[in-house]
Amino acid sequence: MTSSPDTPAKLVSDLAPGVVGTPLAATPLVSLAGVEKTYRSGKVSFEALKGVDLDVAAGEMVAIVGASGSGKTTLVNLIAGIDRPTSGTVTVDGIRLDVMGEEDLAVWRRARVGIVFQFFQLMPTLSALDNTLLPMELAGRGSRRSRRAEARLLLSAVGLEDRTDRLPAELSGGEQQRVALARAMACRPLILIGDEPTGNLDTETARSVFPLLRELNEAGTTVIYVTHDLGLAALARRVVTVRDGRVVADGATGQAPPPTPAFAYEKGRP
């Protein structure tokens, strides 16, 4: 596929922090060491994570699987800086998140992490374009004109160039998740995290949305996602299994996905 400077393929090559084909760094991008997380409510406590050690290299695509309540969402929340461990260390891109204050974590998270949630979390009164713009406006990136241009290109990259003025209620579930993905990439994150990103979609729609994550990974973005769907987990190159707060399995899937244009989604695909 030949790409002009304005095509989605060129856009995401520019937005992705890495370079396609670049070898994985020797130093882990994400490193959890001896991580424990305990939640307390009155006299009741619950150990969500128990002595977790986990490294993720830059450019990896990692699926985290496990039963409900196993600790997998807690794990990605720590990596995203949404939560902090009770003990242990969480280091991302050389920065210790476990010792940062809430305000500093919020600034770091806004600049370095894109998050796609199961229930989309779109602002219901904002159009697809304005939802995509929101992170850039909060971060004060560029001029309003440049932000709008970039948001339109991101929506085009997920196949929604003709839906930019639609409110979330006017979009299908798959389209809303594509808007959420465009929004997650708006500030050029180092890591894209998905917490059951297709869990609220039917199987067919989920499998039409998932290739976007793969294409972003192939463009250089590190992707870490939680899923209960073992079929979707197998599409990653590495699967980490969490059970009762511990990592009980961690291995490559043997996936070697065929080359695809980075984030170039054909208009009209489901």
Alpha helical stretches, state H, 98-202 = 102-112, 128-139, 144-157, 173-184
> Which residue type is seen at 187?
C
Cβ atoms of residues 170 and 128 within 8 Å: no
Element housing 12 (H / E):
helix 8-15
- Flag whether 264 is in a domain: no
Task: Tell me the range of 108-112, 157-161, 166-170 where mean pLDDT is highest.
Answer: 166-170
Q: What phi and psi values does residue 108 have, to the nearest 5 degrees? A: -60, -45
Distance CA 84, CA 98 (A): 6
Statement: residue 20 has pLDDT above 60: no
- Flag whether 240 is in a domain: yes
Produce one character per residue of 213-226: b if its CB has 16 or more CB atoms within 10 Å, e if not: bbbbbbbbbbbbbb
Higher pLDDT, 156 or 127: 127
- Flag whether 258 is in a domain: no
What's the start-to-end Cα distance of the chain, in Å?
21
State what percent of residues in the chain have pLDDT above 90.
43
Q: What CATH number has the domain bearing residue 187?
A: 3.40.50.300
Higher pLDDT, 159 or 14: 159
Cβ atoms of residues 29 and 225 within 8 Å: no
Beta-bridge mates of residue 56: 30
- Flag whether 234 is in a domain: yes
Distance CA 146, CA 214 (A): 27
- Flag whether 261 is in a domain: no
Domain range enclosing 102: 8-252
Distance CA 228, CA 201 (A): 12
Q: Residue 4's pLDDT is what?
A: 36
Q: Residue 258's pLDDT is what?
A: 40
Q: Residue 255's pLDDT is what?
A: 59
pLDDT, tens digit, 9 for 90 and up, residues 215-254: 888 888 899 999 888 888 888 999 999 999 999 999 987 6
CB atoms within 10 A of CB 17: 16
CA-based torsion, 248, 234, 211, 69: positive or negative:
negative
Q: Residue 249's pLDDT is what?
A: 93
Statement: residue 59 has pLDDT above 80: yes
Least confident stretch, 79-83, 85-89, 95-99, 139-143: 139-143
Average pLDDT, the chain: 81
Alpha helical stretches, state H, the chain = 8-15, 72-79, 102-112, 128-139, 144-157, 173-184, 203-218, 230-233
Statement: residue 22 has pLDDT above 90: no
pTM of the complete model beyond 0.85: no
In this structure, what token pair is assigned to residue 153?
């290109």
- Flag whether 23 is in a domain: yes
- Flag whether 41 is in a domain: yes
Quote the number of domains for the chain: 1
- Flag whether 175 is in a domain: yes
> Which residue type is seen at 227?
T
Q: How confident is the model at residue 26 (pLDDT cuts 50, 70, 90)?
A: low
